[in-house]
Chain A
Amino acid sequence: MIHDIIAIIDEYWLLLLIGQYPNGPLGGLANTLILSALSIVIAFPFAILLAFARLSKYRVLRWPVTVLVYVTRGVPLLMLVLWSYFLVPLLTGADVPSFLTMLTTLVVYQGAFLSEIIRAGIVALGPGQMDAARALGHGWFGAMRYVILPQALYNMIPSMLSTFVATIKDTTLGYVINVPDLTFAASQVNNQLLTQPFQVFLILALTYYVICWSLTALTNVVERRITRRRAGLAAPRRQLSLITNATEQP
């Protein structure tokens, strides 16, 4: 069993790592990591904008985004993936690479979930923090940037982490529209071997586990550092300030 797994890795490690590259498109683990990272990095600011729109006093902003969030949350991701794969070329006539289709779908889907988490984090702070910031003369965006978001995002780290991990796992669905990711590579290997599906997909499962676990561990480190700093427990710093480091003269 272990022997089989080692043999498979020994034989197919390059395919699992980078797919057909350089003879074909980049795939395998590398593509999974790129797709995951891009999805998270784009979905996160997108979700903040969606949350702002959901909290806006202007209906033009609030209503369409509310509809988007409800529809997205109420439809399985696989449906969205298939729709964007088949519908977007039909509607636009453009030939969109499957990687881009998957990336866009993931950003919209996870952005919708993430935006609700961020909105909850903002609402949970209560109106006092916004009042205080506005009373000092901060504009709405200034208050968000310097007062509300630093607290809301920090409080929501555990929930946001769950969404980030879900995003990584959801990249596997790219398989159905032929995104050459790790799952795609593993299934190619399986098709060649035919007799060892358990071993092949165990490698796949373990790899995803390690990726997601790493992200969780990294987030925990970040969260602990922020917590320590805000509890005043951090090692003495050169200066008194968190907020001024960026603007301080050398």
Chain B
Amino acid sequence: MTASVSAPAKDQTIRLADVRKSYGDFDVLKGIDATVSRGEVVVICGPSGSGKSTLIRTVNRLEEINSGSIFFEGQDIHAPLKGRELNRLRSRIGFVFQSFNLFPHLSAVDNVAMSPIRVKGVPAAEAHEKALKLLDRVGLREKANSYPAQLSGGQQQRVAIARALAMEPPVMLFDEPTSALDPEMVGEVLSVMKSLAAEGMTMMCVTHEMGFARDVADRIWFIDGGRIIETATPDEFFKNPKHPRAQRFLADLRH
């Protein structure tokens, strides 16, 4: 069932319409309206507790919402969907977690190859070949047979990115992908993300890496109190933030 309300323009990969969510009395998201165009890199930033992670988790319905809609390629993710329908949509939205969430019982190559085999029915040999290519792309070809416990945090996160890419999603979501990493490992993950962006991947990233936001983002959404209170290009945002809360946030970062 496609959206009959208003068919979004083709270049709008993701559109959020009045998205609201609360935990009991606490409103986490208080009406989010936004769009992400094809090939666009959006960085979502804001103070902790502002709803960034909740927001990005609603986009592939890891979190339910109370009202509103989220359209992905014209289809409302939060409509009453058949399980299979939702699984298919999710398989087209890559998701990278703060805590990597690699499958510890599988080697790196099996982490990457499993879902194409089990979800999409790709033949095992083909999926493996592809998985090795993806591991190569994130610089971990030689770690193919290592298990997650044998990899550093940065390496685990790069495998996790390869795992998400294995499903060939047109969109990738990143939920604070470098926040759990030792400082010296942040760079290797960011450079993989940068190369993805350079290849034209549509991306939404929740991150505190302002350097990444400045270099890679097409737009920055600044969230506070469950609302997007400023949307700007990195240039505008860092040089001339309009909202006082954003000004304070950036000032705090410089300390």
In the assembled complex, A210 has its CB within 8 A of some CB on chain B: no
Q: CB distance B113 to A243 under 8 Å?
A: yes
The residue from A131, A139, A247 contacting B117, defined by CB atoms under 8 A apart: A247
A232 pairs with B115, CB closer than 8 A: no
Besides the known contacts A138-B87, A139-B83, A248-B125, 16 further A-B residue pairs in the complex with CB atoms under 8 A apart: A128-B99, A131-B62, A132-B95, A133-B103, A133-B115, A135-B60, A136-B95, A137-B92, A137-B115, A140-B83, A142-B118, A151-B103, A232-B145, A241-B113, A243-B106, A244-B128
A230 on interface, CB distance cutoff 8 Å: yes
Q: Which residue of A lies closest to B60 (CB)?
A: A135
| A198 located at the interface, meaning its Cβ lies under 8 Å from any Cβ of chain B in the complex | no
Q: Is A13 an interface residue (CB 8 A)?
A: no
Point out the residues of chain A lying under 8 angstroms from B120, CB to CB.
Answer: 137
Could you tell me which residues of chain B, from 73 to 88, have a CB within 8 Å of some CB in chain A?
Answer: 83-84, 87-88
Closest to B120 in A: A137
Q: Which of B146-154, B195-203, B211-219 contacts A (4 or more CB under 8 A)?
A: B146-154
Inter-chain contact A240/B107, CB cutoff 8 Å: yes
Contact partner, A135, options B93, B114, B118, Cβ 8 Å: B93
A150 within 8 A of B: yes
- Would you list 13 pairs from A and B whose C-beta atoms are within 8 A, ordered by A residue? A131-B97, A133-B103, A135-B62, A135-B164, A137-B90, A138-B118, A139-B83, A230-B104, A240-B144, A241-B109, A243-B110, A244-B113, A247-B124
Among B99, B106, B163, contact of A136 (Cβ-Cβ < 8 Å): B163
**B119 an interface residue at 8 Å Cβ cutoff?**
yes
Residue A235 interfacial (CB < 8 Å): no
Size range of the chain B interface in the assembly: 35 or more
Q: Does B155 lie at the interface of the complex (its beta carbon under 8 Å from any beta carbon of A)?
A: no
B105 at the interface (CB under 8 A from A): yes
**Bound Cα distance from A140 to B82, whole angstroms:** 13
Contact indicator A136/B91 (Cβ below 8 Å): yes
Q: How far is B150's CA from A231's CA once the two chains are assembled, in angstroms? A: 8
A249 to B123, CA, bound (A): 9
Residues of B within 8 A of A248 (CB): 124-125
Report if B101 contacts A (CB, 8 A).
yes
- Tally of A-B residue pairs with Cβ under 8 A? 109
In this assembly, does A134 line the interface, its C-beta being within 8 Å of a C-beta of chain B? yes
Q: How far does the alpha carbon of A242 sit from the alpha carbon of B118 in the complex, in Å? A: 13
List the B side residues contacting A138 at CB < 8 Å: 87, 115, 118-119
Can you name the residue of chain B whose Cβ is closest to the Cβ of A246? B124
* A243 & B90 in contact (Cβ 8 Å cutoff): no
Specify the chain A residue showing the minimal Cβ separation from B103: A147
Rounded to whole Å, the gap between the CB of A150 and the closest CB of chain B is 5
Q: Is the CB of B147 within 8 A of A243?
A: no
A129 to B106 CA separation, bound complex (whole angstroms): 12
Q: Which residue from chain B places its CB closest to the CB of A150 in the assembled complex? A: B105
Interface residue A146 (Cβ < 8 Å from any Cβ of B): yes
Kindly state whether residue B220 has any CB partner on chain A within 8 Å.
Answer: no
Find chain A residues with CB under 8 A from B97 CB. Answer: 128, 131-132, 135
* Contact (Cβ within 8 A) B164 A136: yes
For residues 107 through 147 of chain B, which have their beta carbon under 8 Å from a beta carbon of chain A? 107, 109-110, 113-115, 117-120, 123-125, 127-128, 144-147
CB of A175 within 8 A of chain B?
Answer: no
By a CB distance below 8 angstroms, the chain A residues around B125 are: 244, 248-249
Contact between B113 and A131, CB atoms less than 8 A apart: no
Residue A154 at the chain B interface, CB threshold 8 Å: yes
**In this assembly, does B19 line the interface, its C-beta being within 8 Å of a C-beta of chain A?**
no
A128: chain B residues at CB < 8 Å are 97, 99, 101
| Option from A142, A151, A231 in Cβ contact (under 8 Å) with B147 | A231
Q: Is the CB of B119 within 8 A of A244?
A: no
In angstroms, Cα B113 to Cα A244, docked, is 9
